[in-house]
Structure 1
Amino acid sequence: MRPPPPAFAVTAADQALLDALPGLAFQAMLVFARLGAAVMLLPGLGEAELPAPLRLGLGLALVALLFPAVAPVLPAAPDDTAAALQMVVGEVVVGLWLGGLARVAMLAFAMAGQLVAVLVGLASLLVADPALGQGGTALSRAFALLAAVLVLATGLHGVALRAMVESYAVLPAGDPFPAGAAAAAVARAGADSVALALRLAAPFVVGAVALNVALGLLARLAPQVQTFFVAVPGQILAGLALLGLLAPPMILAFEAALRDTLSNLPGLR
């Protein structure tokens, strides 16, 4: 009696695909290590308001979407487990560094809101701010949320994602991480972010100085006037009026500066 035929026959192409699966899985892990780490920090996509599982799912979706584009430049899986682990950790560090550069630039608007709150007399309205900690003000929190909405509305998150893909040209997977150059880039990004925050809040600095000089003259000329009780509500009202007047140009200036920063991330410049 003849034995029954096999349920299926493995062709040469199927066998080649099965043999390549471990290497493809390792390469997909490398892509997820970089993109997943970056997504946790990228503007608009890595906001603390988004649950971590959602950001993790977004990272996995990006791997499925972008893996065909970066697969040709990915290294093969090494035979040594320690070497493979070192490569994965290195990709996580690269992703955190790239996402951190974008996140530091994003913090400029929140810092500007913090400065404005202090200058207009709203520093006592404290809220828990994931960006600035427990000392954040309601105004800085509003600025941070506005910055996230601005990034998503203008498509700047797409610029950051393109930088992640193009980064493989300047930081190939598996190459040593340039720690010195990376630290210098972070320092420059921090300095640029603080400078941008100071520029955005500069009109309020001038207004606060002018108001305090006027109040000092009033106290000298009319000592009987309770300057403090007049100054506090007047300072808040004048500050809010100035904020309403300057909010549109502040948003436009921040959007232009953030676009320029994201366009100069490694891989795009």
Structure 2
Amino acid sequence: MITDPEGTILALFAAFCRIGGAIMVMPGFSTARVPMMLRLMIAVAVSMAILPIMWDDIYPKVGGQDLAYVRLVGIEVIVGVVIGLVARYYVLGLQFTGTVITMMIGFNAPPMNDVLEDTAENQLTNMISFAGLLVLFMLDFHHVIFEAIAQSYRVMPPGAAFDAQAVLVTLTDSLGQIFMIMLRLASPYIIYGLLFNMSIGLVNKLAPQIPISFISAPYLMMGGLFLVYLGIAAMLKLFADGFVTVMQGL
């Protein structure tokens, strides 16, 4: 039996602000292919599920003046967005890796519609980013994020002062980790592209009258696609392993 309906609703809305802020920017849930109403229903369902677990942390903080509650709501939204942004940056890092790979192997096909967003993207980048997101869903990455949100109530309880410096440090450290992981994923293709182009440049110096660069373009692409065929399984495995490492940094 609910003895304080008003306080329960206020506590549920406070939980919804943090959960909804994360789902608003989370990869997969925030794409243009997911209807807004479906995202709203997911956020409400997760908030109702997490409220009984975090009741002792949320409910005592929702009482008091209206201005204090409005401030609490604003901070809760920002905290949720920060947690969701870390996961979104990680998936965007894989998309950036796909763009680097297409450039290094010379795969410059005309862009097509993105699988996830309403933008144009290269076909190989589309395949890599969609495959990475699919692997994360298969490994229940959203459970990891929801667990991180639940743990965040211990680190950043509702009603506490907002520490902008700590948030910026968290985002900066996460971006640093993501950059190193994505550089590791793209390093074979970067080395392949550099070695191939250096070799072609040396051959072109020996025979300047022959347009070696035009002749070598199909071989560059063929070798690069074959390298993608051999290494994409290991790349996605390293991508999935790195996600847990990045989220544990929160």
TM over 0.5: yes
Matched, 1:120 2:105: yes
The structural deviation recorded for 1:158 is 1.0
For each residue in 1:103-132, what CA deviation from the matched residue of structure 2 results, as whole angstroms up to 9, or x when unmatched? 212222111101001111124533455989
Task: Give RMSD over aligned pairs.
Answer: 2.1
For each residue in 1:11-37, what CA deviation from the matched residue of structure 2 results, as whole angstroms up to 9, or x when unmatched? xxx7xx4x5100110000000000011
CA distance 1:44–1:262, change in 2 (3 Å) = farther
Contact 1:104 1:190 in 2 (8 A): yes
What TM-score, normalized to structure 1?
Answer: 0.85
For each residue in 1:181-238, what CA deviation from the matched residue of structure 2 results, as whole angstroms up to 9, or x when unmatched? 1101111111222222211111111111111122112212223322132111111111
Q: Where in structure 1 are there 5+ consecutive unaligned residues?
A: 1-13
Give the total of aligned pairs: 249
Matched, 1:264 2:226: no
Match of 1:228 in 2: 213
Contact 2:31 2:116 in 1 (8 A): no
C-alpha separation in 2, matches of 1:242 and 1:231: 16
Match of 1:6 in 2: none
Matched, 1:23 2:3: no
Listed as ranges, the matches of 1:68-217 within 5 Å are 68-74=52-58, 75-127=60-112, 129=114, 136-217=121-202
CA distance 1:132–1:181, change in 2 (3 Å) = farther
AA aligned to 1:31 is A
C-alpha separation in 2, matches of 1:111 and 1:132: 15
C-alpha separation in 2, matches of 1:172 and 1:96: 15
C-alpha separation in 2, matches of 1:142 and 1:169: 38
C-alpha separation in 1, matches of 2:132 and 2:64: 45
CA distance 1:104–1:130, change in 2 (3 Å) = farther
CA distance 1:182–1:133, change in 2 (3 Å) = farther
Q: Which structure would you say has the larger Rg?
A: 1
What TM-score, normalized to structure 2?
Answer: 0.91
C-alpha separation in 2, matches of 1:242 and 1:130: 23
C-alpha separation in 1, matches of 2:186 and 2:117: 17
CA distance 1:96–1:130, change in 2 (3 Å) = farther
C-alpha separation in 1, matches of 2:170 and 2:114: 25
Bigger mean CA deviation after superposition, 219-228 or 65-74:
219-228
Match of 1:253 in 2: 238
Q: Where in structure 2 are there 5+ consecutive unaligned residues?
A: none
AA aligned to 1:71 is W
C-alpha separation in 2, matches of 1:148 and 1:126: 20
C-alpha separation in 2, matches of 1:127 and 1:179: 39
CA distance 1:189–1:76, change in 2 (3 Å) = closer
C-alpha separation in 1, matches of 2:75 and 2:116: 26
Contact 2:111 2:122 in 1 (8 A): yes
